[in-house]
Structure 1
Amino acid sequence: MDDDIETMSREQLIEEVKRLRAGIRRHRDASGHDLCWHHPDLWALLPDAATHTPAVPDWPQFLRGCVRYRESLDRQCPQAPRIQQEFGE
């Protein structure tokens, strides 16, 4: 799957690492409502396309997962500032 790496020059590998790091930073630096969003731009950094459509939980299970994710932010990042902005504003 990653055979293309074997044929890259040092310069190409450096450029690839920079491209991947930039994508990871964009994802890492997401804030507010962007934390809960579908991230195809991050997945598009891979040279191979996804071969499946993601399974999406039904609404009750999805919302419970959102609540658990938000609770995990309270535990893992309690110092993060809180915002009152609604989605789409």
Structure 2
Amino acid sequence: MDEDLERMDRDALLVEARKLRNAIRAHCDATSHDLCWHHSDMWALLPERLDPAIAVPPLSKFMRGCICYRQSLDEQASDAPVHDEEFDG
């Protein structure tokens, strides 16, 4: 699956590593309402082209998952500042 890495020289591997690190940093820097988005741009970094067939839960189950996610943020990042603004999509 990652045969392309075997063909890369050191410089190409460094470019690839920097590209992936920058994408991970951008993803990690997501905050506020941006935490909730589907990040297909991350999948685009893979050499194989994917068209993921995602399954979306019914809205009520999805929203319960959102609440659990938010509660986990309270536990894991209890000192994070609160961004008290409505979503402006």
TM range (shorter): over 0.9
Q: Which residue pairs with 1:41 in the alignment? A: 41
Q: 2:31 & 2:51 partners in 1: Cα distance?
A: 29
Q: 2:75 & 2:13 partners in 1: Cα distance?
A: 37
Q: Which residue pairs with 1:71 in the alignment? A: 71
**Residue segments in structure 2 that go unaligned for 5+ positions in a row:** none
C-alpha displacement at 1:28, in angstroms? 0.2
Q: 1:45 & 1:13 partners in 2: Cα distance?
A: 14
Q: Which residue pairs with 1:54 in the alignment? A: 54
Between stretches 36-45 and 59-68, larger displacement belongs to 36-45
Whether 2:87 is the aligned partner of 1:87: answer: yes
Name the SS for the 1:87 alignment partner: coil
Q: TM-score, normalised by structure 2?
A: 0.95
Q: Which residue pairs with 1:10 in the alignment? A: 10
C-alpha displacement at 1:68, in angstroms? 0.2
| Residue identity (%) | 51
Between stretches 50-59 and 63-72, larger displacement belongs to 50-59
Whether 2:24 is the aligned partner of 1:24: answer: yes
Q: 2:10 & 2:34 partners in 1: Cα distance?
A: 35
Root-mean-square deviation (CA, aligned residues, Å) is 1.1
C-alpha displacement at 1:51, in angstroms? 4.4
> What is the count of residue pairs matched by the alignment?
89
Between stretches 2-11 and 44-53, larger displacement belongs to 44-53
Counterpart residue identity of residue 76, structure 1: Q
**Residue segments in structure 1 that go unaligned for 5+ positions in a row:** none
